[in-house]
Amino acid sequence: MMTDMRVKIAGVELKNPVMTASGTFGSGEEYSEFVDLNRLGAVVTKGVANVPWPGNATPRVAETYGGMMNAIGLQNPGIDVFCKRDIPFLQKYDTKIIVNVCGHAPEEYLAVVERLAEEKIDMMEINISCPNVNAGFLAFGQDPKHVEELTAEIKKIAKQPVIMKLTPNVTDIAEIARAAEAGGADAVSLINTLTGMKIDVNRRTFALANKTGGVSGPAVHPVAVRMVYQVANAVKIPVIGMGGVATAEDALEFILAGATGVAVGTANFVNPTATLDVIDGIQAYMEKYGVKDIHELIGAVK
């Protein structure tokens, strides 16, 4: 049976809805030994700022029950190195390039967005939701007014479609999504990690040097599905769902809840070929149930 897994997000056609979650896949180079990047719908890169960021002190990662916590602190090489090295690397592959952008303040985001204007990338994802950066824009991403304003400013200068990445650490994520839409966002992606804390009882200290970190992995999946469902029913722009996707079934939950795209994150650490397993599993599901076009599944559960 022929199955059509192609999806369109902001006019960009992806060969399938499966992409990588920012920060879990670098710019693809480290995983290219295990994963044929040509098979991915898109590679979403690790967040990049206007200048290099050293990130937080170690330990930066810890395991939690059915999940993990991280407080990397967005270590990245800055946009200049990124444009010279990472974008040309990804251009060798037949996949879409989505560059994740981070910053401490609006002007830092705007500097990166402006710098990306001339680059051959397909979309950008704006991280207004990292819980691990001190001057943190998490607080920023928690305020609908700020989200709308920043989105509008970015849209004024962006040459590629803009995805706003939302934090789950809010009372009403649908309200934040509507604010991004009102600001002109082409799509929203969610969820970023849930802020958590783990204490090492043997050492009687925090498991992470940063004290708090972002929780991810299968343990957060039901929370993410609920939020994707709420957002998909609150906005007209496409939604990219993520949070604990380890199998095709997990990804299909997001799609049925209304997501046009799905990202695989923490699962890459557990299984380097998780992205491919999810793609194959969605294909197998479509064949099993006679689904010719993946659009038959998007938002099918009301």
Partner 1 sequence: MAKFKECAKVVSQEKIGTGIFSMWLQTEQVAGEAKPGQFINLYCQDGSRLLPRPISICEVNKEAKQLRIVYRVAGKGTSEFSAYSEGEQVEILGPLGNGFPLDRMEEGKKAFLIGGGIGIPPMLELSRELKGEKQIILGYRDELFLNEELAENGTVYLATEDGSAGTKGNVLDAIRAEGLTADVIYACGPTPMLRALKAYAEENGIECWLSLEERMACGVGACLGCVCKSKEVDSHSHVHNKRVCKDGPVFLSTEVEL
Residues whose CB is less than 8 angstroms from the CB of residue 178 and which lie 6 or more positions away in sequence, other chains included: 144, 234, 235
Using CB under 8 A, which residues numbered 200 to 259 contact partner 1? 217-218
Residue 266 binds partner 1 (CB under 8 A): yes
Residue 31 binds partner 1 (CB under 8 A): yes
| Distance in Å, CB of 213 to partner 1, minimum | 11
- Which residue type, as a one-letter code, is found at position 55? G
Query: Is residue 146 within a helix (H) or strand (E), and if so which, with residue range?
Result: helix 144-157
Single out the residue of 117, 139, 199, 270 in contact with partner 1 (rule: CB under 8 A): 270
For residue 55, how many other CB atoms are within 10 A of its CB?
A: 16
Three-state DSSP class for residue 264: strand
Instruction: Based on the residue annotation, tell me whether 102 is a catalytic residue of this protein.
Output: no
Record the tokens describing residue 242, joined without a space.
């993520």
Print the binding letters for residues 167-206 with partner 1: x by CB under 8 A, - otherwise. Answer: ----------------------------------------
For residue 257, how many other CB atoms are within 10 A of its CB?
A: 24
> Nearer Cβ to partner 1, position 217 or 238?
217
> Nearer Cβ to partner 1, position 48 or 179?
48
> Nearer Cβ to partner 1, position 60 or 146?
60
Asked whether 232 and 258 are in contact (CB, 8 A), the reply is: yes
Record the tokens describing residue 79, joined without a space.
């946009």
Count residues contacting partner 1 (CB under 8 A)?
Answer: 39
Single out the residue of 15, 26, 155, 293 in contact with partner 1 (rule: CB under 8 A): 26
Residue 23 binds partner 1 (CB under 8 A): yes
| Distance in Å, CB of 34 to partner 1, minimum | 6
> Nearer Cβ to partner 1, position 5 or 130?
130
Single out the residue of 1, 2, 11, 33 in contact with partner 1 (rule: CB under 8 A): 33
Single out the residue of 7, 17, 18, 24 in contact with partner 1 (rule: CB under 8 A): 24
Rounded to 5 degrees, φ, ψ at 212 are: -105, 160
> Nearer Cβ to partner 1, position 71 or 177?
71
DSSP-assigned letters across all residues of 214-253? EEESGGGHHHHHHHHHHHHTT-SS-EEEESS--SHHHHHH
Alpha carbon distance 129, 126 (integer Å): 9
| Distance in Å, CB of 291 to partner 1, minimum | 28
Asked whether 103 and 112 are in contact (CB, 8 A), the reply is: yes
Query: Is residue 179 within a helix (H) or strand (E), and if so which, with residue range?
Result: helix 173-182
Using CB under 8 A, which residues numbered 34 to 93 contact partner 1? 34, 46, 52-55, 58-63, 65-68, 70, 72, 75-78, 81
Residue 301 binds partner 1 (CB under 8 A): no
DSSP-assigned letters across all residues of 47-81? PB-SS-B--PPSP-EEEETTEEEE-----B--HHH
Residue 268 binds partner 1 (CB under 8 A): yes
Query: Is residue 267 within a helix (H) or strand (E), and if so which, with residue range?
Result: helix 267-270
Catalytic residue (one of 7, 130, 191, 239): 130
- Residues recognised as catalytic: 130
Which positions lie near partner 1, rule CB under 8 A?
23-26, 30-31, 33-34, 46, 52-55, 58-63, 65-68, 70, 72, 75-78, 81, 217-218, 266, 268-273
